[in-house]
Chains A and B, each alone.
Chain A
Amino acid sequence: MICRARMFKAKSLAKLAPLTRAYASLAPVATTANGIKIAALDTESPLASLSLVINAGSRFETADTAGSAHYLKAFGFRNTQTRTGFRTVREAELNGATLTAEATRENITYTIRCFKDAVPYFVDVLADIATATKFTEHEFREINKLVEFESLRARSDPVTRVIEGVHQAAFRSGLGNSLFALPSAVATGDAVRQYAQNALSGRIAIVGTGVSAQALSELVGQSQFSVLSSQPLPTPQAKFTGGTQQIYEAASPLSYYALAFAAEPQAASVLAHLLGAQKRMKWSTGASPLAKLAATEGFNVEAFSYAYSDAGLVGVLVSAPTGQIKDAVEKVAKSIQSHVAKPGNEAAERAVAAAKVDIAGELATLRGTQTMLTQAALGQKNVVTLESVDQAAEKLSEAASKTFQSKPVAASVGLSQTTPYVDTLGF
């Protein structure tokens, strides 16, 4: 018992208070002796979820390891020293559990959803994945086919392409790295192991719902997770570079254009609502100037926002018939300059209200809760809560004029003769 108590920093466990479903207050984060962060939120539901979050998304890739994050995602739940991938899958099926693996620019996440009584077993499964995955060559060849297909599908989808494009234009390396591996970018399972190893020493978190942080900490302390070492590597700082553009030629009747601005991570979602391109009322465009413009001119415009631990992006994705795209993007840019960059009180109020509803809705879902817990566990600045929206709301007009008058980045899929260049849009 004394041993176990020593596993955790005393201050973090002492502060564990029973949690109510307060969206704003963050769950307390426990840290094991070897630097594994643990965040959990107990719920009334009979279901629990467990995630192993490896802070090794594509932003950590270098020239030598390009594409590794995608492969690491695909290696989830495969053969380990103690159990085969086959056994993991069959036993999960017997428990009715679901296993998912996800890769974002920051994290690789392996998630299990199961009943509460199966949590101890699945903590062991996750510990196995973290400490004893074999990364064998024959599995690699199998995984390679899957990865190549996912990459091909991503490159064939113009929306995914422009979103990847604005990231590349905005951040170049780091956050600009592609989520999808190029064919034969990574040659062996061992290369993936090396890449994983760097992150597994000190940059992982265990996130749970339907289980108390105390219980989860104890389970993790007793599991194989304790063999991991703790020498966290620093995260390279993201740097936004405005005024650049990625151009992808495509002879399609429909063209796509993404225009993105740098934003504070916590303000990004409110600013996206200020752009207000989403239709929130059926049969009506509402009061948003961009939505009105799109409806009368006959093209589509959507706002997007991305909040990362140290940088944010907010912008619009315009899609229009190829002959119309130049006109559409220029009008959207004008509208952003004249309306969105200097928002009235009413527009700001609308944006804040819509952002709050969306965030509350997101936090009521399992996925939203997991994301929030993950960000809290890894100590990232991009945790968006109702409180952070209120804070962002106080300085909204300042943030809007600063963001939407800065130099944006762009990515386009279409004919380069018809899609406008970002430096001609007057920012």
Chain B
Amino acid sequence: MTQESVGVGPTQPLGEAPAPSPRRERKAALLVAPEGLIARHRGSGVMARTAVPAFRTTYGFISHNFPAIIMIGILASVLGVLAQGGPTLMGNQMRNALVLGAIYALIAIGYTMVYGIIELINFAHGDVFTLSGFYAFLIADHFGINKLAASSGFGLLVALVVIFAVSMLLAGITGVLIERVAYRRLRDAPRLAPLITAIGVSFLIEGFMLAFFGPDNVTTHQASWINGNAFTLGAVAVRWTDLFVLGMALVLMFALGAFVTRTRLGKAMRSTAQDRQAALICGININRTIATTFFIGSALAAAGAIIYSINYGSLKWNLGFHVGIIAFTAAVLGGIGNIVGAGIGGFLIGMIYVFGGSLAGGAWSESLIFAILVLILTFRPVGLFGVDVASRS
């Protein structure tokens, strides 16, 4: 390293000054540059530059219109379901998609935050999700929370507050510990090293859960906390649980958005994500900021796990791998590093999973998700909400 090569400057705009924007408008809660996966890997769009013109045009077209193509695809499948089964089926599937999407969104945010701040695909995140679900299960079963939840409306409220607070705290501590033990020393190592460590941590947590909770689904006794239908739209029954899942996820996501945009720590996180060394030189305690990021990401995974438990009623030791990889796709779809994008990506993946699966047969649900992952990485690695790299190059 020579003395002059400490870092890379920000993009310097060409031409004249931008339109002044004196008011403090609220810009999107970006953790990193929306170039996302691409920003640090120049050479993307190589295909677009070097291929034959016809292909280049096609590539550019698909890349440029990728969000529209995805949206049209989703809309088409929604309409397809409507044509197949009428408004009742569409309504039922929409409810299913939103509930599933809410859970994916909460997990996706954890992936995106960690990637944003240390450029690590934290493969252990899905397992932190499962583990925190088991925390909630143990707490609820051993401290009479289940009885409390069943006792009265007020009891349920207290039970929810306790279970969310304690499990999120424990999950946060778990996340911080994982970062401290497994990732911190490798922060400046070649990227493959922490990635492999992350897979190792994932196996470790899964193995622990397998040994401790056994190979089968474990009934968490939380599905009966919230009962009954809230209302019926036509022939579509919406349960209180559905509303709770969706509402809780949205509240948490908006709270996180506000936290990251407005608070001191949120700014510390964003600055660390965008230029770690410059943040250091601005007096930010990098280690603490990264630990906080892991804390929040893991706490949200815990919230997702409790919501999962309340909706499905059971957990399994290897659930996190399965759910995690779908949530990761949601994070990439929304543009990895983009918190709002991850939230929206979660819901879109929920729609694709449910409506695609409803039309094409459930056997294709997952194939569809991973096909989309491949398409994003090929055509639009920045995700739906990133800048249009191909058209820029």
**B is bound to A:** no
Interface of B with A (CB < 8 Å)?
none
